Structure 1
Amino acid sequence: MLKEKRQPFMTPVEIVRIIASAIGIKASNKQLDTFAFKYDQPYTLASSLFKESISVPLSKFINKDFSKKLEAKFESMMREYIELVNSTPMDGITRVETEAILTRWILDTIAVEFNLFMGKVIEGPNYLMRNNLHPNGITQGFDWLSSNVEWWDSFLKFIPKEKRHRFKLWKSNDELPKLSNITNIPDYLPNSEVEGHEWEKIKVVILAARFIDNLQRNYANIYPEKLVNVAVLSLSQVEQYIWHLKSKNQDWLKPLGEQGLEIDYIFYKKGENKELSDAGRKQCSKTLIDELEVSTFKHSKFNMGYWLNWYRARWHALNGELKEANSHFKVTFEKALFFAGPSMPEIIKEALSIASSLKPTPDKAFIKRLKNSAILFGIDIPLHKEDKSQLEVNRFDSVVEDWELKLYEATFHKHFPPALQFNVTSSNASQRIGPLLGAFEQSIKPNFRSPNKKIVVGDTWGKHMPQIVYFSWMNQVEAVAQLINKGVNVNALSDSNESALLFSILQMDVLDHGSSMDDTLFKLISSIRHREDVVNTKTSKKELLPLVCAVDTGRPAVVAKIIEMGANVNFRGNTDKTSALFSALSRIGMIKRPDVSKALIKNHPLNNELLDTIRRHSNGLMGATLDEVKRNYEKYLQDPMFKNITDSGHNLIVDRIKEFMTLGNMREIAKLLINAGSDANAGHKTRINGFTPLMLAAELDEVELFEAMVQKNGDPLITAEHPETGNPIDSKYVAFAHQSNKVLRYLASQQERA
């Protein structure tokens, strides 16, 4: 792609390509060339290509520790970079103006990472503070090796003559080392007794020198001829430079902005344009958009096409022409990527509402692209799909779920209110937002002639479900019994994947103060043979799983029955992706330490996982994307009454667990799950990333359960990540930190036996 046609911001894959090329390993992956300038990218692509193209070769051939640190640095780089992309509109700026400074920031960042590794890990040379005695990095590196590796000079004497000649070429700047050259240095003396870790240190010293020399050799337009004490460029300086460029373009940007404001006024200030009819608004706005097209054409080199197409897309949406609007939103989306800055989230949200509202079917291919970009730009998070192959991960339903489609569709009137539309003929159908309300028990009667009949319930919006599911939800045991006698299909699911079995379990849910706590319905439903896939089906939005819900009844008999019916004990449920064993141990913790549990719940960070939980449980009332949910939730938290109600609800959960669950029953449930094969080493994303059921048992000093898990292949040496330091921590560390003396004594006894 010609530089003039590239967006002013680089894609993450283009950044990977620059890093790989500068280090000297670009040729190993053609995908870098293929995807570097494709602005519509899967959110995982850059990270996977960095690992494949850079991390794996460096780990295998150079130095594992450096590879790991460089990969972590890349991830933090991308987080900062995407924040800049999100916050900075590039109207009036071209790639020609940004290429050099962005490349300089990328290379400076990697150079610093090399240097940090040199100084902190191997106490190697400081290539960024080179003195004039060293004409290049290789010379500095070889001098350092001579001074700090006692056998290096002897090594140079005994290697073959042609190898010494190659080193001279490197030092004279006549040749840059290839990765394969550096990798093969230990083979120059096949019978060398030097240990592998020594060679890793040497290879990374030479690779870093090669990187520095490459900057002077192939990036002369960015770096001075002699790279001595060059100041490192920060991303904030890049931002300042961009705003400096923008200040030069105000003369033509300002009139365009005024034209846009005039269109916005006609679109969205209907109440202030009472002299204009809807037909007049329609024609006037179309004329203004045509005039804007002429103005943007005069400045075509600045790629302002996204702005024009956005107005055309909105015009068609307000005119009820959703297919045309969708077509224009596709062009808008493609032109706005890595260009539109803070407008990008709004473009994505409006486009999602249009693409999801198309009849007879939503534009799923476009919706998937939009969701991928929403994740990349930090306004949404990926779905958690455990045990999925790469092919399955790329499927539509691994990126977007059915409930999200309905939620996006429900936001259409938020973005394009009926009152502002040119033709007031748009559907007034109820939007699937907020709670499902209705006079259920009074208005719906069972149809025993058609036991498998599906019904639509709700006044606020309609939910489709089989009768057996509905009457189980309502806990109408007699109606359910008669439907069973009529041969009803107990495996039938609602449009949200709810089953009669699930609702029978939820009647005993300790966490729900509105539950009946009656097991009559469960005994009735569970007496009928179920398909295993139904027993293991999660609801589509709240991700309720029968086995995990059974744990929250606090009744061992219920858990045992669900396992007997074919539950997979390692499937995860709820929006926090919890295994049944981890959930059982968590409840034990709440019983043993209620005050600690209340404090942990109250002080839970407002992270993406919690925001997603709020979104799923509020059914769109808090917003359709995570940035909206966060903004709305934080606003509500400013209200003392809302905060008090929220805190009271959290305290009530812990109080009910203490009232209706017993340590004996929860320990019995945990043993049932352990004996059924529940994975004690399964990592969970809690306040400590990678925390396992075994670690939680260590924290709670549940030595009997801890021992039972170890006997079933629970591994005390598996580590999680400390939330503050990032250091690995194992079960012994957890037990020591929480003074779990019984578990510590058990671990000591096992060590003595070993």
Structure 2
Amino acid sequence: MSNTSTQKTPYFLPAEVVRAIARALDSKNNSELLDNKCQDLYLNKNELDQLINTHIYKVIEKVELKKSVENELKTLIAQMFDDYLKVVANYGLSERHRDEIGPWVVEAFFCPYLINIVSFLGIRTRPFEKTDYIELMTNNSTSLELAFKIIERRVKDWNTFYADLPQGDKDKITAWRRGDDIPSQTSLMSILNTQNAPKNVLVFLLTARAIEYFKKQNDYELLTQYFKSPVSFEALMVQFEDLMSALYERDMQYVNTLYQNKDEQFFDRPSTIIVKLLDLSLNSFSKDEIKQAKECFVKAFELSLYRSGRLCNHIIEVGFVIASWQESPDMSLISKLKSVQNLYGYTLPTIVTEDAKRKKENLVEDWEINMWRSNAQKVFNDFKVELPEKYQVSSAILPVYLDAKELELDLKKPNKKVKLNENSKLHRDKNKKKQITTQLIWNTLLEDLDAVNKLLQAGADINILSDNNESALLIALQYMNLIEINEPDDSFYQALKDLSYTPKTINAMTSKKHLLPLLSAVQTGRLDVVEHIVKLGADVNKKGGGSHLDALTTCLFLIGTIKNSKLSNNRFSMIAQDPKTAIKRMSDFEFSTFVRETQGSLGFNRQQVTNHLAQMMKSSDAMALLKEVSEVFKEQTQANYELFDLSKMRKIAKLLIDQGANPSARYDWHGIHGYTPFLLACELNEAELVSYILDNATEYSKDDIINTVYRDRRDGQAIGYERICKHFKADDVLEVIDRHLTLEISDEVN
């Protein structure tokens, strides 16, 4: 990472960090795409993940480490990026220049993380030791010469391997040892990534190459202050955040002094310019000058990126309102706001989907536009700005409206469209003021079974979806869904099940709650229903729902909840009894789901929701109603969960596995990155299902399943099945896995 930067931002952009590591590893470091991304303020999380995968992870995979070591190493690197972006998102450095702050960030942030990674390699890459890796960094000689001396000392069969090398390869090694040049990744791979090469020599030399590159680009003495026992990521973050806070306070004191002394320098400070631009934007919007408001906002937003810390979060919320209320909502700006919001780790209510036609962060749903529009005054209240009445929409929940003529059943035109939800203020498309559905779907929603049967007899097309991507079959499945607060009713399903459905209908996902027919089928707890939906062509690996999970994971979560159904009741009771604490305890993921479910009607950040609930608590009638609803919820939930049968749920899980459900599919949950159905089955001590997963796995996929680790973003730990089983006392599962591993070793011997 060069000490001199062409960038204006005090912080390194994440793509610059990727490029620095790529150059150290000699991993496609001349990539034009990567260079371009190093200039991109609006890089999204998906693009960053792709860059990390291409320029860092691919090199790790080529080294052919033990799978568990490879996964843990990737986890350490991913955690470094997460923690760095956490710093960028929370601590402002508006008054600092890159040339001043860049070397300090390298020294105080990246160097200790490098020590942690090197320490890990020293523990997991026998025959090398941690002291060997540290010696590479502390010794004054070239890292490659020292590396080969250590190899000669540590690796017993090195001399034999070296003696058998072609003369050309020996000449290359001699040149590297002299320090004539730093070996390329390709050269190292060509000599040492072979079947007869001694174990872990390649990873040791690649590390030596990276350290040598670092020494040439930076003062290697930067590392020496961190050679004590490496500390945890969590401890590193606390230390670094304290330093950042002190730096930020010093900068703000400086700016305040300039302001108090009426010093002209004050007006040229970046923090002052950002606030001034934001103020102009807010005032323009309050005067109904929405185009001018957007122009000023974009300048403020761009200047705040990788500079302003927590202020950037507030700026983004203002931007959503301004972009959504343009005559035609500015989807390009909204996409940029969402990309940064996701990358920085701020709460993001949109669920990522696999829509191949659009970039992941570009997916903006109508309900979100409505949410931002309806929260305009709440956002502007934080800045003490009063908006014109036209912007003061009270709720994001669209009222359902149908006139008498549209309600009348028309059997002569069974596929006649029904228009609803008249609300031009909230809908983002002014040419589409009403949402559209079909008579069949509408009457299914109205629970009018007689009308549904008449429409079917009249030839209603069951494969026409509503604007919301609902089908009559999906609604029928929801009536049987045991996690919904209603008594299960399969009468609509019976009326609709034996008809001919297209794969599009079976795999259609609704736009707000992301409901899927297969997920709803699993939540009925009925094996026959799941079998039916699978036979109709359901994609067993498609993710959906508020938690964005696939069918197998959903099934396993239900098994866990059935075993302890009081947990969901306790969570709801907490919201009814102590809503402030309940909101505070929610993970970002849980809170994002809560915002989606309420459509932002209570606010779309924690403070807004907490304030809204605090206001509700002042009303005895409102609190009494909330407690009454809580009791009804608990009673109905308990009654529904008693209808689930654990043995049938396990049969459903096995059916999904038979149909190709991926037990290694990764998902995020409560700050945990990369949890899988297999790991969840381990947590639940589901020995029968763990055994079934392994029995049905290929030799390659079994290794991948067992060696998968998840990353706990809270402390940077990479955790596999063993630690999960020990923590949750899943001894039965441990026995099953040990038995499979023993058989595997026995097969290899034979």
Aligning the two structures, in what range does the TM-score lie when normalised by the shorter sequence? 0.7 to 0.9
Which residue, 493, 500, 522 being the options, matches 1:522?
493
Counterpart-to-counterpart distance in 1, 2:124 and 2:649: 48
Q: CA 1:582/1:653 → structure 2, altered by over 3 Å: closer, same or farther?
A: farther
Match of 1:619 in 2: 599
Q: 2:661 is matched by which residue type in structure 1?
A: D
What SS is found at the alignment partner of 2:45?
Answer: coil
Q: 1:536 is matched by which residue type in structure 2?
A: N
Task: Say if 1:42 and 1:372, in contact at 8 Å, map to a contact too.
Answer: yes
Match of 1:13 in 2: 15
Match of 1:401 in 2: 365
Which region of structure 1 is more displaced relative to structure 2, 167-176 or 153-162?
153-162
Task: Say if 2:374 and 2:391, in contact at 8 Å, map to a contact too.
Answer: no
Q: CA 1:248/1:513 → structure 2, altered by over 3 Å: closer, same or farther?
A: closer
Counterpart-to-counterpart distance in 1, 2:734 and 2:386: 72
Q: CA 1:733/1:307 → structure 2, altered by over 3 Å: closer, same or farther?
A: closer
Match of 1:265 in 2: none
Residue 556 of structure 1 and its aligned partner are, at CA, apart by 5.1
Q: Map of 1:336-485 to 2, 5 A cutoff?
A: 336-359=304-327, 361-381=328-348, 389=356, 392=357, 394=359, 399-416=363-380, 424=388, 426-427=390-391, 431-433=395-397, 445-448=407-410, 452-457=416-421, 465-484=437-456
What SS is found at the alignment partner of 2:676?
Answer: strand
What SS is found at the alignment partner of 1:378?
Answer: coil
What SS is found at the alignment partner of 1:620?
Answer: coil
Q: Cα deviation per residue 1:109-166 (whole Å; 9 max; x = unaligned)?
A: 3255224413553333445457998644344333323332345467777878887676
Counterpart-to-counterpart distance in 1, 2:741 and 2:314: 58
Residue 580 of structure 1 and its aligned partner are, at CA, apart by 4.2
Which region of structure 1 is more displaced relative to structure 2, 412-421 or 78-87?
412-421
What SS is found at the alignment partner of 1:90?
Answer: coil
Q: CA 1:113/1:519 → structure 2, altered by over 3 Å: closer, same or farther?
A: closer
Q: 1:607 is matched by which residue type in structure 2?
A: S
Q: Map of 1:167-186 to 2, 5 A cutoff?
A: 170-171=176-177, 173-186=179-192
Residue 334 of structure 1 and its aligned partner are, at CA, apart by 1.4
Q: Map of 1:9-158 to 2, 5 A cutoff?
A: 9-25=11-27, 27-60=29-62, 68-104=71-107, 105-122=109-126, 123-124=128-129, 125-128=131-134, 135-152=141-158
State the TM-score, normalizing by the size of structure 2.
Answer: 0.76
Q: CA 1:581/1:376 → structure 2, altered by over 3 Å: closer, same or farther?
A: closer
Q: 1:196 is matched by which residue type in structure 2?
A: A
Counterpart-to-counterpart distance in 2, 1:544 and 1:317: 36
Q: 2:481 is matched by which residue type in structure 1?
A: D
Counterpart-to-counterpart distance in 1, 2:188 and 2:445: 67
Match of 1:535 in 2: 506
Number of paired residues?
701
Q: CA 1:119/1:38 → structure 2, altered by over 3 Å: closer, same or farther?
A: same
Q: CA 1:72/1:336 → structure 2, altered by over 3 Å: closer, same or farther?
A: same
Match of 1:214 in 2: 213
Task: Say if 1:547 and 1:567, in contact at 8 Å, map to a contact too.
Answer: yes
Residue 529 of structure 1 and its aligned partner are, at CA, apart by 4.4
Task: Say if 2:654 and 2:692, in contact at 8 Å, map to a contact too.
Answer: no
Which residue, 273, 286, 304 being the options, matches 1:318?
286
Counterpart-to-counterpart distance in 2, 1:177 and 1:702: 51
Q: Cα deviation per residue 1:170-199 (whole Å; 9 max; x = unaligned)?
A: 555554343344334449xx9xxx83343x
What SS is found at the alignment partner of 1:612?
Answer: helix
Residue 93 of structure 1 and its aligned partner are, at CA, apart by 1.4
Task: Say if 2:24 and 2:209, in contact at 8 Å, map to a contact too.
Answer: no
Counterpart-to-counterpart distance in 2, 1:504 and 1:674: 25
Residue 345 of structure 1 and its aligned partner are, at CA, apart by 0.6
Counterpart-to-counterpart distance in 2, 1:596 and 1:247: 43
What SS is found at the alignment partner of 1:196?
Answer: coil
Match of 1:729 in 2: 721
Higher relative contact order (CA 8 A, sep 6+): 2
Q: CA 1:617/1:157 → structure 2, altered by over 3 Å: closer, same or farther?
A: closer
Which residue, 494, 498, 507 being the options, matches 2:470?
498
Residue 540 of structure 1 and its aligned partner are, at CA, apart by 1.2
Q: Give aligned-pair identity as a percent.
A: 20
What root-mean-square deviation, in Å, do the aligned CA atoms of Structure 1 and Structure 2 show?
5.3
Match of 2:638 in 1: 655
Q: Cα deviation per residue 1:269-306 (whole Å; 9 max; x = unaligned)?
A: xxxxxxxxxxxxxxxxxxxxxxx9x9579636x58543
Q: 1:109 is matched by which residue type in structure 2?
A: Y
Q: 1:656 is matched by which residue type in structure 2?
A: A
Counterpart-to-counterpart distance in 1, 2:537 and 2:172: 66
Q: 2:98 is matched by which residue type in structure 1?
A: R
Match of 1:609 in 2: 589
Q: 1:74 is matched by which residue type in structure 2?
A: I
Q: 1:501 is matched by which residue type in structure 2?
A: L
Task: Say if 1:585 and 1:693, in contact at 8 Å, map to a contact too.
Answer: no
Match of 1:307 in 2: 275
Q: Map of 1:261-276 to 2, 5 A cutoff?
A: none
Residue 357 of structure 1 and its aligned partner are, at CA, apart by 1.8
Q: CA 1:150/1:121 → structure 2, altered by over 3 Å: closer, same or farther?
A: closer
Task: Say if 1:497 and 1:539, in contact at 8 Å, map to a contact too.
Answer: yes
Q: CA 1:674/1:139 → structure 2, altered by over 3 Å: closer, same or farther?
A: closer
Residue 35 of structure 1 and its aligned partner are, at CA, apart by 1.6
Task: Say if 1:674 and 1:709, in contact at 8 Å, map to a contact too.
Answer: no
Q: CA 1:325/1:666 → structure 2, altered by over 3 Å: closer, same or farther?
A: same
Q: Cα deviation per residue 1:454-506 (whole Å; 9 max; x = unaligned)?
A: 23259998865444333321212234344445555444444432333322333
Task: Say if 1:183 and 1:203, in contact at 8 Å, map to a contact too.
Answer: yes
What SS is found at the alignment partner of 1:340?
Answer: coil
What SS is found at the alignment partner of 1:106?
Answer: helix
Counterpart-to-counterpart distance in 2, 1:25 and 1:374: 29
Q: Cα deviation per residue 1:587-639 (whole Å; 9 max; x = unaligned)?
A: 55655665688789999984343223222212213433588679989999999
1:739 lines up with 2:739 in the alignment? no
Residue 42 of structure 1 and its aligned partner are, at CA, apart by 1.5
Task: Say if 2:541 and 2:662, in contact at 8 Å, map to a contact too.
Answer: no
Q: 1:95 is matched by which residue type in structure 2?
A: R
Q: Which has the larger radius of gyration?
A: 1
Residue 369 of structure 1 and its aligned partner are, at CA, apart by 1.1
Counterpart-to-counterpart distance in 2, 1:55 and 1:570: 25
Counterpart-to-counterpart distance in 2, 1:129 and 1:89: 36
Q: Cα deviation per residue 1:620-676 (whole Å; 9 max; x = unaligned)?
A: 13433588679989999999999988986775465223443446765676677677x
Q: 2:471 is matched by which residue type in structure 1?
A: S
Q: CA 1:709/1:297 → structure 2, altered by over 3 Å: closer, same or farther?
A: closer
Q: 2:643 is matched by which residue type in structure 1?
A: F
Q: 2:359 is matched by which residue type in structure 1?
A: N
Task: Say if 1:58 and 1:64, in contact at 8 Å, map to a contact too.
Answer: no
Task: Say if 1:130 and 1:228, in contact at 8 Å, map to a contact too.
Answer: no
Q: CA 1:512/1:133 → structure 2, altered by over 3 Å: closer, same or farther?
A: closer
Provide structure 2 residue ranges, at least 5 long, that are not aligned to the other structure.
Answer: 231-235, 427-433, 575-581
